[in-house]
């Protein structure tokens, strides 16, 4: 690996981490689309900032552009507050307007600088190592590495310092307000961090990938855990993995780095979406199937409990009487036998003691809907897991 | 006459210039278990939220033991409506209860062993200790409400505001909750509850406020919970027989 390759992967990974952190909270606050709005509408901020500073890497430009991001949020909220349009419509109105102002400004005034619409949309990660930071004549690395590194450091510090406040105001705005943690301050704090991160990552990965880096890792992590800290760690992990994998895919395919990273992010999400242990599609389908069988089992057990007559408990009769297909009858019978709930003698089915106790308990639960009684059953049966 | 816990003066609250609460004067004495009743849209939740500074009134003032709410946060605990939060949030029952301690910690400081112990005790009081590590979406509606109640208990406040704590809970949880509220009153706390079920008002509460944009009446249940005030509040001819 050349040092340029390492630098590109390092920048991509740092950007991924810096995006995943605010992204996690945006996803939990159901504000994913706001990151899309910010990523587009900071463009006029970058262009105007560039006219003022004449330097694409100036911290002042980053602040200026981030400020445009905040304006976006304020405008969206203002339009929404009038109750004339809904939030998604307000977002759809604000960011294309601001973005197009940026596009016009570039076309009219910035033809001669390294700022064109392609770069804005997709970034130029491959060129990042060429723009070096020189201090006292010494080369200390690519400028973008320093920029995104500083942004990550600020984000991490804020996250660790205000983790508690972020958590409570994200989960329960009303409680946060009544406890004296102003939800507005935390909201705009998060929006500021998101904006600064977006601007910092913009040059490296472009307006479209920034959104993917913010939302995809967090959405993927959300499917895997029920713990906020783990969700953050997983989101960061998915971000880094996709950044590095994406780089090498781009290398092998000789394609855009930004595009490859986004593709990997999408694939990682797809895999987790399908195979996540409890929230994944396959797990959900399996659970639904199990629940269907268990409902059948319960119906069957109840039938046995209600009937003493031998003819009602004959295997053949059960098939016809309960009106199930053979396969279903067999799987229910197998499940009941596996759990020692029934025994079959001369084709006559009877409840065992365990089966009898289970049936009473389950019926009791279904009638009273009291949870405490069935805690021990939840481990064995999906049906009772709510 | 006992001390006044909450005093509301000339409070008017509006959404988009439409008044939801109109010139409310209210004094809640210390140590009562009070129901706020009124039809949908009467401003019951709004009243609580305005007292707690979550909504900004367009006129009027609120004081908690004679001082503004900002200065008295530690004395007040709030249980929002269960439906006001996303129960799919990635966190556990214990963690939600711990959030009740955040107010006394203030900004930045993290909860430690002391806060955890208090949270576990509160979970015990509401009978939810065995669920402490359960992800909150895996709890039933009644259990979620108990978690919210535990979170308020952990604040160890003097005044408790609860927004429809009995909404969507089963009968056993309702009894458990009202027993805790009665225990709070016995301990000298003031408890204010937005309540929907008029039938249970005489049984559960000793103080009541009738609200319908304006305040209709406030006072002891035995004196003012009558057909006259119910009719004034609900606008239809209301007949309940509370005297057995």
Over residues A201-206, mean pLDDT: 80
The confidence score (pLDDT) of residue A132 equals: 86
The confidence score (pLDDT) of residue B110 equals: 92
Burial string for B38-72 (b: 16+ CB within 10 Å, else e) reads beeebbbbbbbbbbbbbbebeebebbbbeeebeeb
Helix (H) or strand (E) holding B148: helix B141-153
- CB atoms inside a 10 Å sphere around CB B185: 18
Q: What are the φ/ψ torsions at residue A86 (nearest 5 degrees)?
A: -85, 170
Provide the terminal-to-terminal Cα distance of chain B, rounded to the nearest Å. 29
Report strand pairing: B207-212 vs B33-37: parallel
Q: Does B87 touch chain A (CB under 8 A)?
A: no
Percentage of the residues of chain A whose pLDDT score is greater than 90? 45
Separation CA B47–CA B57 (nearest Å): 10
Of A106 and B12, more confident: B12
**B-chain residue closest to A178, CA distance:** B52
pLDDT exceeds cutoff 60 at A211: yes
The confidence score (pLDDT) of residue A376 equals: 56
Cα separations (Å) of B171 from A186, A278, B142, B175, B226?
A: 39, 31, 9, 6, 26
Separation CA A304–CA A348 (nearest Å): 10
Of A221 and A317, more confident: A221
Residue among B73, B89, B130 minimizing CB distance to A171:
B89
Separation CA B65–CA B6 (nearest Å): 6
Q: Which residues pair with B15 in a beta bridge?
A: B18
Of A361 and B115, more confident: B115
C-beta atoms of B103 and A180 within 8 A:
yes
Separation CA B9–CA A106 (nearest Å): 57
Residue among B54, B107, B108 minimizing CB distance to A177:
B54
Residue among B78, B89, B102 minimizing CB distance to A174:
B78
C-beta atoms of B73 and A385 within 8 A:
no
The confidence score (pLDDT) of residue A386 equals: 41
Over residues A246-260, mean pLDDT: 92
Residue among A175, A369, A385 minimizing CB distance to B80:
A175
Of A370 and B197, more confident: B197
Average pLDDT taken over every residue of chain B: 91
Place of tokens 């996303």: B86
CB pairs under 8 A between A and B: 86
What's the Rg (C-alpha) of chain B? 18
Band of residue B61 on the pLDDT scale cut at 50, 70, 90: very high
Report the residue count for chain A. 386
Over residues A230-239, mean pLDDT: 98
Q: Does B220 touch chain A (CB under 8 A)?
A: no
The confidence score (pLDDT) of residue B169 equals: 86
Take residue B119 and report the two structure tokens written for it: 């949270």
Take residue B128 and report the two structure tokens written for it: 């939810």
Helix (H) or strand (E) holding A142: strand A138-142
Q: Does B53 touch chain A (CB under 8 A)?
A: yes
- CB atoms inside a 10 Å sphere around CB B201: 19
Q: Using CA atoms of A271, A273, A275, A277 in order, give the dihedral in degrees to the nearest 10.
A: 140
How close A34 comes to chain B (CA, Å)?
19
pLDDT exceeds cutoff 70 at A378: no
Strand order in the sheet with B4-15: B18-29, B4-15, B59-64
pLDDT exceeds cutoff 90 at A343: no
Separation CA A154–CA A18 (nearest Å): 9
pLDDT exceeds cutoff 50 at B65: yes
Helix (H) or strand (E) holding B162: strand B159-163
Contact list, A177 vs chain B (CB under 8 Å) = 52-54
Q: What is the pTM of this model?
A: 0.87
Band of residue A83 on the pLDDT scale cut at 50, 70, 90: confident
Average pLDDT taken over every residue of chain A: 86
Cα separations (Å) of A18 from A6, A232, B71?
A: 18, 11, 37
C-beta atoms of A28 and B111 within 8 A:
no
pLDDT exceeds cutoff 80 at A384: no
Separation CA A385–CA B79 (nearest Å): 27
The confidence score (pLDDT) of residue A17 equals: 97
**B-chain residue closest to A159, CA distance:** B108
Helix (H) or strand (E) holding B14: strand B4-15
Provide the terminal-to-terminal Cα distance of chain A, rounded to the nearest Å. 52
Which domains are seen in chain A, by residue range? 3-277 (1.10.3470.10), 282-385 (1.10.10.10)
C-beta atoms of A171 and B53 within 8 A:
no
How close A59 comes to chain B (CA, Å)?
27
Instruction: For residue range A265-309, list pLDDT tens digits in order.
Output: 999 999 999 999 888 999 999 888 888 887 888 888 888 888 877
Instruction: For residue range A298-331, list pLDDT tens digits in order.
Output: 888 888 888 877 777 777 777 776 667 777 777 7
Contacts of B80 (CB under 8 A, 6+ apart): A172, A174, A175, B148, B163
Separation CA A74–CA B55 (nearest Å): 19
Q: Does B73 touch chain A (CB under 8 A)?
A: yes
Q: Does B61 touch chain A (CB under 8 A)?
A: no
Residue among B76, B89, B110 minimizing CB distance to A28:
B89
Cα separations (Å) of A80 from A66, A69, A84, A253, A364?
A: 21, 17, 7, 44, 49
Instruction: For residue range A24-64, list pLDDT tens digits in order.
Output: 999 999 999 999 999 988 888 888 888 888 877 788 888 88
Residue among A83, A161, A225 minimizing CB distance to B108:
A161
> Which of the 8 DSSP states describes residue B109?
P
Take residue B53 and report the two structure tokens written for it: 């500074």
Instruction: For residue range B16-28, list pLDDT tens digits in order.
Output: 778 899 999 999 9
C-beta atoms of B90 and A222 within 8 A:
yes
Cα separations (Å) of B237 from B132, B185, B241?
A: 47, 33, 13
Separation CA A200–CA A218 (nearest Å): 19
Contacts of B161 (CB under 8 A, 6+ apart): B48, B51, B52, B76, B77, B78, B79, B192
Report strand pairing: B207-212 vs B214-220: antiparallel
pLDDT exceeds cutoff 80 at A110: no
C-beta atoms of B137 and A226 within 8 A:
yes
The confidence score (pLDDT) of residue A310 equals: 75
Residue among B52, B90, B105 minimizing CB distance to A178:
B52
Over residues A136-158, mean pLDDT: 91
pLDDT exceeds cutoff 70 at A368: no
Q: Using CA atoms of B16, B22, A182, B71 in order, give the dihedral in degrees to the nearest 10.
A: 160
Instruction: For residue range B66-102, list pLDDT tens digits in order.
Output: 999 989 999 999 999 988 999 999 999 999 999 999 9
Contact predicate A222/A231, CB 8 Å: yes
How close B215 comes to chain A (CA, Å)?
24
How close B69 comes to chain A (CA, Å)?
9
Instruction: For residue range B137-177, list pLDDT tens digits in order.
Output: 989 888 999 999 999 999 999 999 999 999 888 888 899 99
Contact list, B89 vs chain A (CB under 8 Å) = 28, 170-171, 228
């Amino acid at each position: 690996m050349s040092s340029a390759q390492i630098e590109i992967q390092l920048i991509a990974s740092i950007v991924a981490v810096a995006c995943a952190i605010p992204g996690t909270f945006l996803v939990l606050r159901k504000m994913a689309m706001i990151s899309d709005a910010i990523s587009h509408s900071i463009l006029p901020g970058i262009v105007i900032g560039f006219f003022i500073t004449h330097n694409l890497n100036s911290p002042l430009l980053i602040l200026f552009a981030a400020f445009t991001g905040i304006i976006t949020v304020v405008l969206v909220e203002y339009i929404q507050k009038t109750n004339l349009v809904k939030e998604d419509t307000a977002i759809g109105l604000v960011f294309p307007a601001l973005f197009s102002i940026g596009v016009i400004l570039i076309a009219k005034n910035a033809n001669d600088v390294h700022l064109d619409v392609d770069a804005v949309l997709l970034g130029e990660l491959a060129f990042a190592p060429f723009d070096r930071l020189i201090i006292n004549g010494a080369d200390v690395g690519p400028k973008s590495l320093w920029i995104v590194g500083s942004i990550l450091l600020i984000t991490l510090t804020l996250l660790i310092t205000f983790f508690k406040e972020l958590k409570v105001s994200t989960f329960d705005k009303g409680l946060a307000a009544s406890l004296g943690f102003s939800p507005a301050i935390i909201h705009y704090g998060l929006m500021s961090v998101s904006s600064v991160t977006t601007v910092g990552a913009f040059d490296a990965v472009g307006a479209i990938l920034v959104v993917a880096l913010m939302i995809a890792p967090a959405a993927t992590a959300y499917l895997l855990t029920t713990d906020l800290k783990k969700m953050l760690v997983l989101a960061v992990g998915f971000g880094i993995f996709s950044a590095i994998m994406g780089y090498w895919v781009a290398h092998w395919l000789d394609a855009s780095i930004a595009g490859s990273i986004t593709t990997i992010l999408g694939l990682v999400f797809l895999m987790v979406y399908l195979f996540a242990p409890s929230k994944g599609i396959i797990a959900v389908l399996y659970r639904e199937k199990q629940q269907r069988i268990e409902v059948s089992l319960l119906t069957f057990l109840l039938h046995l409990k209600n009937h003493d007559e031998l003819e009602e408990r004959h295997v053949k009769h059960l098939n016809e009487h309960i009106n199930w297909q053979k396969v279903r009858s067999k799987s229910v019978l197998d499940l009941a036998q596996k759990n020692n709930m029934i025994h079959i003698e001369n084709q006559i089915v009877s409840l065992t003691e365990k089966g009898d106790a289970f049936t009473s308990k389950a019926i009791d639960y279904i009638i009273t809907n009291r949870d405490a009684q069935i805690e021990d059953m939840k481990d064995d049966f999906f049906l009772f897991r709510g | 006459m006992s001390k006044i816990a909450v005093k509301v003066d000339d409070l008017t609250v509006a959404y988009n210039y439409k008044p939801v609460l109109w010139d409310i004067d209210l004094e809640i004495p210390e140590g009562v278990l009070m129901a706020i009743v009124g039809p949908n849209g009467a401003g019951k939740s709004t009243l609580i939220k305005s007292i707690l500074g979550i909504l900004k009134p367009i006129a009027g003032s609120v004081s908690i033991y004679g001082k503004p709410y900002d200065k008295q946060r530690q004395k007040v605990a709030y249980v929002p409506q269960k439906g006001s939060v996303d129960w799919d949030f990635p966190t556990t029952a214990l963690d939600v209860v711990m959030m009740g301690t955040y107010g006394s910690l203030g900004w930045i400081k993290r909860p430690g062993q002391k806060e955890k112990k208090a949270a576990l005790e509160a979970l015990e009081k509401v009978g939810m200790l065995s669920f402490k590590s359960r992800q909150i979406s895996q709890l039933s509606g009644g259990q979620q409400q108990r978690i919210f109640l535990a979170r308020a208990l952990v604040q160890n406040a003097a005044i408790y505001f609860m927004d429809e704590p009995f909404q969507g809970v089963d009968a056993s949880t309702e009894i458990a909750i009202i027993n805790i509220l009665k225990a709070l009153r016995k301990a000298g706390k003031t408890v204010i509850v937005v309540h929907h079920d008029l039938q249970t008002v005489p049984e559960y509460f000793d103080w009541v406020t009738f609200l319908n944009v304006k305040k209709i009446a406030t006072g002891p249940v035995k004196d003012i919970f009558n057909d006259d005030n119910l009719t004034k509040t609900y606008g239809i001819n209301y007949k309940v027989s509370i005297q057995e």
